[in-house]
Amino acid sequence: MTRFVLGRIGFCTLIAVLLAFFTIPLLWLVTAPFTSDPSYEVKVPDFTWDNFQAVVEHPYALPSLYNSLVLSVGTAVLVVLLAALAAYALSRVRLPGRDALLYALLLLSSIITGTAAMVPLFQLAVELNLIDSHLGLILILTGGLLPAAIFMLKDFMDSTPKSYEESARVFGASPLQIVRHVVVPLVRPGLATIGVWALANVWGNFLMPYLLLSDVEKQPAAVITYTLYTEGGQANLSMLSTFGLLYSIPVVLMYLFVSKKYGFRFHGGIKR
Amino acid sequence: MAAIELRGLTKVYPGGVKALDSLDLDIPDGEFFALLGPSGCGKTTLLRTIAGLETATGGAVVIGERDVTGVQPGGRDVAMVFQDYALFPHMDVTDNIAYPLRIKKVAKGARREKAEEVGARLGLDHLMDRRPGQLSGGQQQRVALARVMATQAQAFLFDEPLSNLDARLRLEARTFLKKLQRELGVTTVFVTHDQAEALAMADRMAVMEAGHIRQIGTPVEVFQRPANTFVAGFIGSTPMNLLDGAVRGDTLEVAGCKVAVPIAAEGRLTDGEKIVYGVRPEYMAYSAGPAEGVLSGKVAIVENLGASHLVTLDVNDVLVQAVVPEGSEPAVGDDGHALPRRDRALVYRDGELV
Amino acid sequence: MAQATSPPEVVKEDARTRRGYSSDAAGLGSLRAGAFVAPALLLIAAFLVFPALWVLYLGLTNYRLTGAAAAEPEFVGLANLLDAVFNPTFWNSTWLTVQFVLGSAVIGQVVLGFTIAWLLRDRAGPLKRLVEGLVILAWILPSAVVSFLWVALLDRDGGTLNALLGIPGFPWLLDHPMLSIIVFNTWRGTAFSMMLYGAALGNVPPSHLESARLAGASGWQQLRDVVFPHIRGHILTNLLLISLWTFNDFSPFLLTAGGPDGRSEVLAVHVYKVALQSGELGYGAAVSTIILLINLVVAVFYLRLLRSKK
């Protein structure tokens, strides 16, 4: 009995510590925007809307959120579409060297999307005339996210029984009909997860747009955040916190939506 | 409606595993045909090759006098029920049943009407808006059947249609399925590993082993005259007694006892040759007292089969089983004697029926 | 078997239509499968494989951001690689990166992620949703926002952490830059491991756990004998992914900018500094090449472990 009580106490303590660890860093984001002239300190806010007023009046703040939206939605749609087609084909048809190819690409993507490929990507974008082009950036970001997306989706599709497709096939459905009528609805939770993953990834991406978009009117929120300084060169905390909050809300809403509708998790998980 | 013919059908998997070895089979129009065998014998592969889900390595599949060997599954005009039913979880019952018609570009109204009609026929009318996940196993099976019926295909293929049902429901579904097939008159091939199921439902059946068909026949033929010791051992809810023996003049010596030559084997045996003597426990008359031509031994085990008992006799260290009607079962340790029926006992030479 | 019974036209058609389609589940066939894969591969080839190869080439030149070498880069062979190998700053960065990966990914994210998944494994309801939601929130918030949150948290004067601990003026980012970015990255990345282990634990058959409990196994023994063998593949895949991600993660730059005095200059930050801030593109590319090689070694190591289970 004491063991049970001790276990209970241990569990509660652990959960409490975890909650504190994950909550405390977030406090500043929910208090500072409503505080006049905020510092780094977390204070009980005086509920002013002045900071929001300032963000609205900033010439690039709200448009940059729109730019972020265009970039992330565009990339997510492209990633989901292309990754789903590729993952499906790789899952159902034994192409030679399939697994080696997947692992090689995955490896490459985790390296190359970082700082390593900045220079060649920049040169490539210049050559292809993709500088300051949202479409160009979308294509480049898609290329970087695709391997991991294919990897995760293929795992997901591997765990879906084949008899659904075979059944449709015996009824005379064409491969494209099978994909549309059967496969896509069956793996929709997986597609949603990958979509959210891609969306959140691009929404927060700083390096690529910073490198490839020089026109301030085309820059997304991640880049604009780093321009929010006062005339004295100090970080403008009232703008930063408020803009940060506005910039965060869409991903949070999206997460809530997807997790309510599909359950935001790995179905079956990423296995071997 | 169409007959199905297989000509020298061969399926070799990459890696050299021969799943089907040059099979020939004729299934006439309207027949209810069972493919029976232990797991891994190739029965499901055979069904899937008829459906076109597996490509034949050699030979031909002919459905309704049309060679469909190189035709896509969708072009063969067959319909299939899968072991897990493969009902689309994101569609309700109506849409599931109407799906084949949707592929055939039947107008929405017409296919709904057809789905309602078929659904009503199978007693699904109150379930038409449900998703498969909300249905019981038996209901799911009927939806899968309804979907197949809606296709109006020339032939139906069922892969273990009853194996996902629990035991009691399975009996009910067996009767239902047989009645339905009778009424529809569509050529139907079904796969099962359960010999009782095959015996109960099929008009004719093929017993398979390791990619070969070991016997084709009606349930009565296969039960009463198994063509070889494999079929003999596989068919029957209590396995046939298969006893090593030898011909001794005009009698047989089996397990140290003298038994009469079965009627079917009269005049076909040569003195001194080694044979296997086969008789089903159901075709043994058990008695406590000795008689001419009996297998005599001590009762080793008595198992209750409900209305009868299965008695296992130890006959000179060979185990022999006999079915005894209720009320006359012996006790373990008693002396017992079992007289095989001459008109039902069989003799196998080199594994084949004499 | 004799084919005498088959009608002649059947045999003829048989020969003509053999192998007319493929036998995968949806009847895609290699050609259509290729068409499905092609667009993705095209983008990957253009924006991933090509830049990677280009990096390898650049590493062999003296290419610079500005000056004469920017216009006419010269081929210098392995000079850049040798420079890196004999450069103590490079080795310092490599060592810091190893600490960063071991500390924040292998220990931090995996242990924390698994702990949370294990604690919440058969719970439902608001507590589970709250904990999971917060952990995932840390993962999906934009890094620009998150880094400012941590700057605020760790600020020496007004920072929440110092206020809570009662040690105002303690300069976390200056005195313990590595610890700061390790804890930061653990906070940031635990969600992925948590979700993956959550799914993996869901796949452990309850009967296995129950039979271990009936045999009197303690919590730890259940983990060791039932759970870990079952989710070994998940653990290794998870380790591979997060190790690689962490290895190439640039976000420490947003918190400490590699400082003070390069004490948190992990390799990703090091590349950024030498390539873009100092303009030595050729040398930066050579370091990237080495990163690539290290990643390869790490990946091969994990894949070997993964394969050895069979």
CB contact under 8 A, B8 and C1: yes
Residue B31: per-residue pLDDT: 92
CB contact under 8 A, C164 and A24: yes
Q: Name the CATH topology of C102-277.
A: MetI-like fold (1.10.3720)
Calpha distance B206→C7 (Å, rounded): 23
Query: Which three-class secondary structure state does DSSP give residue C178?
Result: helix
Which of C10, C11, C17, C32 is the best mutation test for B, with the most CBs of B within 10 A? C10
Q: What is the mean pLDDT of chain B?
A: 89
For residue C82, give how far its alpha carbon lies from the nearest alpha carbon of chain A (Å): 18
Q: Does residue B87 have a pLDDT over 80?
A: yes
Q: Does residue C279 have a pLDDT over 90?
A: no
Please report the DSSP string for chain A in residue order: -HHHHHHHHHHHHHHHHHHHHHHHHHHHHHHGGGSSS--SS--------HHHHHHHHSTTHHHHHHHHHHHHHHHHHHHHHHHHHHHHHHHHS--TTHHHHHHHHHHHHHHIIIIITHHHHHHHHHHTT-TT-HHHHHHHHHHHHHHHHHHHHHHHHHTS-THHHHHHHHTT--HHHHIIIIIHHHTHHHHHHHHHHHHHHHHH--HHHHHH---TTT--HHHHHTT-B-TTSSB-HHHHHHHHHHHHHHHHHHHHHHHHHT-SS-SS----
For residue C21, give how far its alpha carbon lies from the nearest alpha carbon of chain B (Å): 7
Residue B54: per-residue pLDDT: 87
Please report the DSSP string for C194-212 in residue order: HHHHHHHHHTS-HHHHHHH
Residue B249: per-residue pLDDT: 84
Residue A230: per-residue pLDDT: 66
CB contact under 8 A, B78 and A170: yes
Calpha distance A159→A267 (Å, rounded): 9
Q: Does residue C30 have a pLDDT over 70?
A: yes
Q: What angle do CA B142, B145, B150 make, to 5 degrees?
A: 125
Label residue C16 by pLDDT band (50, 70, 90): very low
Which of B82, B95, B105, B151 is the best mutation test for A, with the most CBs of A within 10 A? B82
CB contact under 8 A, A175 and C27: yes
Q: Does residue B215 have a pLDDT over 80?
A: yes
- The verdict on B204 and B259 lying in the same domain is no
Query: Which three-class secondary structure state does DSSP give residue C98?
Result: helix
pLDDT in tens, B255-300: 888 888 898 888 888 888 999 999 999 999 988 888 888 898 999 9
Give the pLDDT mean for B63-67: 88
| Tokens encoding A243 | 């803009």
| Whole-model pTM over 0.90 | no
Calculated CA dihedral for residues B134, B136, B140, B146, nearest 10 degrees: -100
pLDDT in tens, C44-55: 888 888 888 888
Tell me which chain B residues have a C-beta less than 8 angstroms from the C-beta of A189: none
- The verdict on B185 and B312 lying in the same domain is no
The enclosing H or E element of B243 equals: strand B241-248
Q: Does residue B35 have a pLDDT over 90?
A: yes
- The verdict on B166 and B284 lying in the same domain is no
Label residue C23 by pLDDT band (50, 70, 90): low
Tell me which chain A residues have a C-beta less than 8 angstroms from the C-beta of C136: 255, 264
Q: Are the beta carbons of B309 and B324 closer than 8 angstroms?
A: yes
Q: Among B148, B170, B173, B168, which Cα is nearest to B158's? A: B148
Any chains having at least 3 CB pairs less than 8 A from chain A are B, C
Label residue C6 by pLDDT band (50, 70, 90): very low
- The verdict on B141 and B226 lying in the same domain is yes
- The verdict on B250 and B197 lying in the same domain is no
The enclosing H or E element of B309 equals: strand B308-315
Domain residue limits, chain C: 102-277
Give the pLDDT mean for C93-105: 92
Q: Are the beta carbons of A255 and C136 closer than 8 angstroms?
A: yes
**What's the CATH number where B80 sits?**
3.40.50.300
CB contact under 8 A, A168 and B103: yes
Of B234, B264, B298, the one marking the end of a domain is: B234
pLDDT in tens, C174-211: 888 899 999 999 999 998 899 888 888 887 888 888 88
- The verdict on B38 and B155 lying in the same domain is yes
Q: Among B312, B284, B314, B311, which Cα is nearest to B297's? A: B314
Calpha distance B20→B46 (Å, rounded): 7
Q: In this predicted model, which residue has the larger pLDDT, C277 or B69?
A: B69
Q: Which of A53-62, A93-102, B233-242, C20-29 ranks highest by mean pLDDT? A: B233-242
- The verdict on B73 and B179 lying in the same domain is yes
| Residue B176 structural domain | 4-234
Considering CB atoms only, which of A164, A169, A181 is closest to B74? Answer: A169
Q: Which residues contact B199 (CB under 8 A, 6 or more apart)?
A: B205, B219, B222, B223, B235
Calpha distance C56→A55 (Å, rounded): 44
Tell me which chain B residues have a C-beta less than 8 angstroms from the C-beta of A164: 86, 88
The interface predicted TM-score of the complex, written ipTM, equals 0.82
**Residue B188 has what DSSP assignment?**
E
Residue C15: per-residue pLDDT: 34
CB contact under 8 A, B60 and C10: yes
For residue A252, give how far its alpha carbon lies from the nearest alpha carbon of chain B (Å): 28
Calpha distance A61→C122 (Å, rounded): 44
Which of A160, A162, A165, A171 is the best mutation test for B, with the most CBs of B within 10 A? A171
- The verdict on B286 and B193 lying in the same domain is no
Report the percentage of chain B scoring pLDDT > 70: 100
H helices, E strands: number in chain C = 18, 0
The enclosing H or E element of B67 equals: strand B66-67
Of B179, B211, B234, the one marking the end of a domain is: B234
**C-alpha distances in angstroms, A157 versus A84, A91, A180, A234, B132?**
9, 6, 14, 50, 20
Give the pLDDT mean for B83-89: 89
Structural domains counted in chain B: 2
Tell me which chain B residues have a C-beta less than 8 angstroms from the C-beta of C20: 70-72
**C-alpha distances in angstroms, B25 versus B28, B191, B213, C6?**
10, 15, 9, 11
Whether cis (ω within 30° of 0) applies to the bond prior to C260 is yes
Of B234, B264, B280, the one marking the end of a domain is: B234
For residue B106, give how far its alpha carbon lies from the nearest alpha carbon of chain A (Å): 13
HSE-up of B204 (CA within 13 Å, CB side)? Answer: 12
CB contact under 8 A, C37 and A162: no
Calpha distance C105→C247 (Å, rounded): 9
Q: Which residues contact C209 (CB under 8 A, 6 or more apart)?
A: C222, C226, C227
Query: Which three-class secondary structure state does DSSP give residue B146?
Result: helix
- The verdict on B19 and B156 lying in the same domain is yes
Q: Which of A58-62, B77-81, C251-255 ranks highest by mean pLDDT? A: B77-81
Kindly list the structural domains of chain A, giving each domain's residue range(s) and its CATH number in brackets, ordered by start.
Answer: 2-48 (no CATH), 61-261 (1.10.3720.10)
Q: Does residue C310 have a pLDDT over 60?
A: no
Tell me which chain C residues have a C-beta less than 8 angstroms from the C-beta of A39: 158
Kindly give the confidence (pLDDT) of every residue in chain A, 272 residues in length, as a single tens digit, with 9 standing for 90 and above. Answer: 677 788 888 888 988 998 989 988 888 888 888 887 777 777 777 777 888 887 788 888 888 999 999 999 999 999 999 999 998 888 888 777 777 888 777 777 766 666 667 778 888 888 888 888 999 999 999 998 998 889 888 888 887 888 898 999 888 888 888 888 888 888 888 888 888 888 888 998 888 898 888 888 889 988 888 887 766 667 778 888 888 899 999 888 888 887 777 666 554 334 33
Please report the DSSP string for B71-127 in residue order: S-GGGS-EEEE-TTTT--TTS-HHHHHHHHHHHTT--HHHHHHHHHHHHHHTT-GGG
List the single residue in B with minimal CA-CA distance to C20: B70
Chain centre distance of CA C58: 25
Residue C162: per-residue pLDDT: 82
Considering CB atoms only, which of B24, B69, B70 is closest to C1? Answer: B24
Residue C282: per-residue pLDDT: 84
User: Looking at the complex, does the CB of residue A161 fall below 8 Å from at least one CB of chain B?
Assistant: yes
For residue C2, give how far its alpha carbon lies from the nearest alpha carbon of chain A (Å): 31
CB contact under 8 A, C159 and A114: no
Residue A232: per-residue pLDDT: 65
